[in-house]
Amino acid sequence: MRTKLLITLLAVAATSTVVASGILPAPRVVEASDYAFDGAVIVTWTSVPGAKSYRVYRNTSDDWLAANEIGVTSDTAFIDPVTSRHDGQACYYWIAAEAGLAVSPISDTAVGHPGVLRPGASKPNTARLRQNFRRLRGLLKQSRPSE
């Protein structure tokens, strides 16, 4: 019985940090855009109650262990200005929620594809992407029926 309890505690510790208020759940409904934005992928997810920030990871194969952290945000969306060497190539994303020392397990995988940069562009215009994305997000919120 003690061995089983120890194994369970080690498994929990390997995937998240336990705090007095409980364990943060993994972010859910993780989605990544497909060819929608020139040279970029926009990743979105649902908020995790109690989370203060989210770490975003990317890889070019579905291998979480080899993924690189590409950013931290307090929002539930992240714009990844993918370099031209990834034009059209599948990018795999994972999200982890954080609140102080508490870290959630990693989310399920989301796959997205950056749109190919227009001829002559060396990188995506992230300011324009953010502006367009905020407008789109606002329109989507307005079009949803209130609960």
Q: Residue 11: left (phi > 0), alpha (psi -120 to 50), or beta?
A: alpha
Residue 132's pLDDT band, with cuts at 50, 70 and 90, is low
Look at residue 111 and tell me whether its pLDDT is greater than 90.
yes
CA nearest neighbour of 106 among 44, 6, 9, 30:
30
Place of tokens 């931290």: 72
Q: Which domains does the chain have, with CATH numbers?
A: 16-143 (2.60.40.10)
DSSP assignment of 86-103: GTT--EEEEEEEEETTEE
Strand-pair partners of 55: 72, 96
Cα–Cα distance measured from residue 75 to residue 42, given in angstroms and rounded to the nearest whole number = 12
List, for residues 80-94, the tens digit of each pLDDT value. 887 656 666 889 999
Residue 100 has pLDDT above 80, yes or no: yes
Q: What is the pLDDT of residues 25-79, one digit of tens each?
A: 999 999 998 887 777 889 999 999 999 999 999 999 999 999 999 999 999 999 9
Q: Which of 4-8, 95-99, 117-121 has the highest mean pLDDT?
A: 95-99
Give pLDDT, residue 147.
46
* Vertex 18 angle, CA 13 and 23, to 5°: 110
pTM higher than 0.75: no
